[in-house]
């Protein structure tokens, strides 16, 4: 039995609306190519009343940020009895909260950069003392935002206030993280398996919003375990032992958070080959140029095939749940 009627939820009410529209349109096009009956809903409120007017087998969530990745839309869909792609309510809430995520990593014994959390109600001098204790440079991040929005690196205590003001635009709480110099790696997870590793090489200091969506100079290298002599190839290199360690760590992070179906795990590898987890993205970007689709392509999975597999996984898990309910009743 296969699903037929798919709704793609995109747009949304968060600061990542523009990115979500790109993801949703790409997913819809791919699912149509894969043979599904697809309709799209541009989500502009938290009720999504259009859901009540359609027969839906699976809702493909292409919403980012608030009411997308934070468990809100997942809760709404469950209340309506609609199956949806990706992680459930609890895992979505956990992964969206950078502080809760880091605490989860630490409790599981997984390395993550040292940090403190601060609020806009604290005095600047108090926050400065925390930063000095951590040691410059530090990275400032809104605790509940994605797509590298509001992030900055502070190398000089005198510009700390400017970075805080930027981050506080997206919430009253900010995480201040010890800066780790090294290579930035991202690893997609699909059906509880790690996809090929991608190394991100921005042309600027770090992978900020502009580097992610506007700067054509950002490089995305498919990492291989055999050194390549031809520098023109768009590949990176990790020895097999480190490659396996990174993939295992990503899969462990995915499971610790409680993710389902798919995710994307971001990490850093410092100059001594230590890995540090940054975050788990429960709904990463879904355009053909996004990182999860790039990793899937490196594994031989086309973009339409990726979207179809995610829908099929969701539908099959729903059937399993229904059968278990019947057997237990």
Confidence band of 211 (pLDDT split at 50, 70, 90): very low
Average pLDDT value for the chain: 91
Across residues 179-197, what is the average pLDDT? 97
Catalytic pick from 57, 199, 279, 308? Answer: 279
Q: Indicate if the pLDDT at residue 322 is higher than 50.
A: no
For residue 233, indicate whether it is catalytic.
Answer: no
pLDDT at residue number 214: 54
What does DSSP say about strands 5-11 and 58-61: parallel, antiparallel, or unpaired? parallel
Catalogue all structural domains in the chain, each as residue range(s) with its CATH number: 5-86+304-328 (3.40.50.20), 114-178 (3.30.1490.20), 182-282 (3.30.470.20)
Who contacts 265 (Cβ-Cβ below 8 Å, separation ≥6)?
Answer: 186, 187, 188, 189, 249, 250, 253, 254, 277, 279, 280, 281
Q: Express as a percent the part of the chain with pLDDT over 90.
A: 81
For residue 173, indicate whether it is catalytic.
Answer: no
| Least confident interval from 10-14, 62-66, 125-129, 234-238 | 234-238
For residue 323, indicate whether it is catalytic.
Answer: no
For residue 90, indicate whether it is catalytic.
Answer: no
Q: How far apart are the C-alpha atoms of 295 and 280, rounded to whole Å?
A: 15
Catalytic pick from 11, 12, 15, 16? Answer: 16
For residue 271, indicate whether it is catalytic.
Answer: no
For residue 234, indicate whether it is catalytic.
Answer: no
DSSP code string of 123-134: -HHHHHHHHHHH
pLDDT at residue number 238: 95
pLDDT at residue number 159: 95
Q: Indicate if the pLDDT at residue 241 is higher than 60.
A: yes
Which of 49-63, 132-146, 225-239 is modeled with the greatest confidence?
A: 49-63
pTM, two decimals, is 0.91
């Amino acid at each position: 039995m296969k699903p037929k009627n798919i709704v793609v939820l995109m747009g949304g009410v968060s600061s990542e609306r523009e990115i979500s529209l790109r993801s949703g349109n790409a997913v819809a096009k791919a699912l149509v190519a894969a043979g599904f009956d697809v309709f799209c809903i541009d989500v502009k409120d938290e009720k999504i009343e259009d859901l009540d007017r359609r027969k839906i087998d699976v809702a493909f969530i292409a919403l980012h940020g608030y009411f997308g990745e934070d468990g809100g839309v997942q809760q709404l869909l469950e209340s309506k009895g609609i199956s949806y792609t990706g992680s459930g309510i609890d895992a979505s809430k956990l992964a969206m909260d950078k502080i809760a995520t880091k605490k989860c990593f630490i409790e599981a014994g997984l390395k993550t950069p040292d940090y403190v959390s601060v609020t806009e109600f604290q005095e600047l001098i108090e926050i400065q003392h925390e930063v000095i204790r951590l040691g410059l440079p530090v990275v400032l991040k809104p605790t509940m935002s994605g797509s590298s929005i509001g992030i900055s690196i502070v190398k000089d205590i005198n510009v700390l206030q400017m970075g805080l003001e930027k981050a506080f635009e997206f919430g009253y709480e900010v995480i201040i993280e010890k800066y780790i110099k090294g290579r930035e790696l991202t690893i997609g997870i699909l059906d509880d398996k790690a996809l090929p590793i991608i190394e991100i090489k921005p042309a600027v200091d770090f992978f900020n919003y502009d580097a992610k969506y506007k700067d054509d100079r950002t490089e995305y290298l498919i990492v291989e375990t055999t050194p390549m002599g031809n520098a023109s190839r768009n590949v990176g290199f990790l020895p097999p032992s480190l490659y396996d360690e990174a993939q295992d760590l990503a899969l462990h992070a995915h499971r610790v958070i409680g993710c389902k179906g798919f995710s994307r795990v971001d990490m850093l590898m410092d100059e001594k080959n230590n890995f540090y987890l940054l975050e788990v993205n429960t709904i990463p970007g879904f355009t053909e140029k996004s990182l999860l689709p790039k990793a899937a392509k490196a594994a031989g999975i086309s973009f339409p095939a990726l979207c179809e597999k995610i829908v099929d996984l969701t539908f099959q898990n729903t059937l399993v749940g229904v059968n278990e309910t019947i057997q237990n009743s």
